[in-house]
Amino acid sequence: MNAGSDAAIVRLEGISKTFGSLVVIDELHVSLAPGEALGIVGPNGAGKTTTFNLVAGDLTPTSGTVWFDGDDVTRVPAHRRCRRGIGRTSQIPRPFDGLTVFENVLVGASSGGQGRARRWGRGVRADSVAASVDALDRAGMLRLANRRAGDLTLLQRKRLELARALATRPRVLLLDEIAGGLTEAEVHELVETIRDIHRGGMSIIWIEHIVHALLSVVDRMLAMDYGRMIVEGDPHEVMASDAVRTIYLGAEA
């Protein structure tokens, strides 16, 4: 079967993931169109981060198929998916504290690049430097390029995490609770940055507990619980649905 018959750049087809007898993802179907921003919400333990790990290649599904740009990448490891164009951030930024901001981003640029040659030649080095500068600019961190990463504030570390993902030149950007732990003002700043990145044509899948941040950016929302999709559609309609109110409030709405 070829996934190229539909418009999705990412498609999870009947994905399940179990750990022993524990079912974490249960027959999940998810698609992402080119240039779309998809938000994923759900209570803790709903399977959101596991879904991310299945898209990124950090986990292999027990059953089902992961498609990326028309290709079956179910068994393709994470580093190769990164080179094909899937970039991600982590919930907790873990930069190389002893390196500068620019050096941290250069590591990402040198590792990704959608299938470019990995030889550390002059052309690859120049290309990686250019990608790093562009990523820092888009993430709002260019002015801090020479600062030591260990001296950054939390918001700046979040922006650095974003820049490192952008430096891999992704076609799909996975954001894993990137706004977590920030103040309201900081969330607003970061949302503006992500909105600009999306307006530039980036396809995004974003997990977030800060719902108003998602509502400011995403085109479509998917709510999960117990590893299953509960409802998807217009973000505001999803958040107002009885199904979502029930899984968050624990009672019939």
What is the mean pLDDT, run by run of 10 residues, along the chain of 253 residues? Answer: 62 96 95 97 92 96 96 95 94 93 92 53 72 96 97 97 96 95 96 97 96 96 94 95 83 49
The answer to whether the 1-85+202-253 and 88-170 domains have the same CATH topology is yes
How confident is the model at residue 5, as a pLDDT? 40
- Write down the pLDDT at residue 228: 94
190: nearest Cα among 252, 247, 141, 242: 141
Closest CA to 111 of 136, 76, 84: 84
Q: Into which CATH architecture does domain 88-170 fall?
A: 3-Layer(aba) Sandwich (3.40)
Q: Domain map of the chain by residue range? A: 1-85+202-253, 88-170
Q: Check residue 124 and give its pLDDT.
A: 53
Q: What DSSP letter does each residue of 66-111 carry, written as one string? A: EEETTEE-TT--HHHHHHHTEEE--SS----TTSBHHHHHHHHHHH
pLDDT of residue 250: 64
User: Which CATH architecture does the domain made up of 1-85+202-253 adopt?
Assistant: 3-Layer(aba) Sandwich (3.40)
CB 52 within 8 A of CB 88: yes
Give pLDDT, residue 127: 86
pLDDT at site 100: 97
